[in-house]
Amino acid sequence: MNKLTTTINDLGEIELLNRLKKFMRQGQIDDDVAEINTLNKVLLINNDLLVENIHFSDEISNARDIGWKSITTNISDLICSGSQNIISFTVGLVLPQNTNWRWVENLYEGMKEAMQEFGGELIGGDCSRGETKMISISAIGEMNTPRLHRGNALPGDCIVSTGFHGLSRLGLALLTSEKLPSAAEISPQLKDRAINAHKRPYPAVRALHAFIESKPKSESWRAAGTDSSDGLIEAIRGICTSSNCQAVLSKTSILKDPDWPKDLIWDEWVLNGGEDYELILCLPKEWAEALSRKFKTAQIIGYIKEGKPDIFWDNLEQITTKKSNLFQHF
């Protein structure tokens, strides 16, 4: 690839981040948060950027929903790193000059609702004018035990997903009148859950608590974790890359919403839909089994083994994903 003509669209998000690693200390970019040591505690800090028509659209979401989502996506990054105490947020805002004040007020009302639900307070930020609406949130949480890293997986670990996947992707399709994968009937209840999953994502707080409470006394606090914001398969691929290992998944073990269409073509959205914000964990078998008993939608979906980073089905078929099927930031 010619360095002089290579664009970020050619690279994609993962390769872009790989190339940026040289500007940071080793291992820093393997997770979505940074650690800051203070005198009496360790803080976790992360930043998420939402861009109009990439991550949100006024045509399908109101400003309150966008505000909620901008906060909860950051909270999800803190939660999947093990933080149970959300402290504060700053907001960077870029707006066209003709943006209605009421839109801005409702945006912050949605943020306030999310903070009232999950904790934290707004402590500042910045604003500027621009051609496109952009919302940049920095979130601060307290590091708790265990500290989850993508790079903590070991051969023999079980892979656990804490909930259903594909709902947000279906919600997006319904809101934009996109053609569905097949003519399968979608129940009104599934439609409601899908649209709500897309507009008002709910970070896996309860799943994190269950994960911590279910740890057997015989096990150490070592576990790998991330969220499924970029899709189930990409979450597992990120763990494999950071932990230098392989994953083997069972198709029949991946939970789907009870009303999810039976046609196999719909599985693409389950595997690669993105923005579901479930925890994806790799942990010792006894701990994984205890978590699956304690938390209703926690399911063991595969295991980790030695090998060059890759993902396979349990029939040894390699799992590959077309770039066009992935959640795209560029």
CATH number for the domain that contains residue 219: 3.90.650.10
Domain boundary among 118, 142, 166: 142
Residue 140 DSSP code: E
Q: What is the pLDDT of residue 37?
A: 85
Q: What is the pLDDT confidence band of residue 327, given thresholds at 50, 70 and 90?
A: low
Q: By C-alpha distance, which of 193, 199, 74, 95 is closest to 141?
A: 74
Q: What is the pLDDT of residue 322?
A: 66
What does the pLDDT look like over 44-62, one tens digit per residue? 999 999 999 999 999 999 9
pTM of the entire structure? Answer: 0.91
Q: What is the token pair recorded at 90? A: 């700053």
Residue 295 has pLDDT above 60, yes or no: yes
More confident residue, 114 or 147: 114
Q: What is the pLDDT confidence band of residue 165, given thresholds at 50, 70 and 90?
A: very high
Residue 323 has pLDDT above 70, yes or no: no
Q: What are phi and psi of 26, to 5 degrees?
A: -60, 130
Domain boundary among 124, 142, 160: 142
Query: Do both 136 and 165 map to the same domain?
Result: no
Give the Cα-Cα-Cα angle 148, 232, 114 (nearest 5 degrees).
Answer: 65
Query: Do both 24 and 137 map to the same domain?
Result: yes
Query: Do both 275 and 297 map to the same domain?
Result: yes
Q: What is the pLDDT confidence band of residue 27, given thresholds at 50, 70 and 90?
A: low
Percent of the chain's residues with pLDDT above 70 = 95
Task: Read off the pLDDT of each residue in 262-271 and give the average, rounded to a whole number.
Answer: 94
Q: What is the pLDDT confidence band of residue 326, given thresholds at 50, 70 and 90?
A: low
The domain tally of the chain equals 2
Q: What is the pLDDT of residue 329?
A: 58
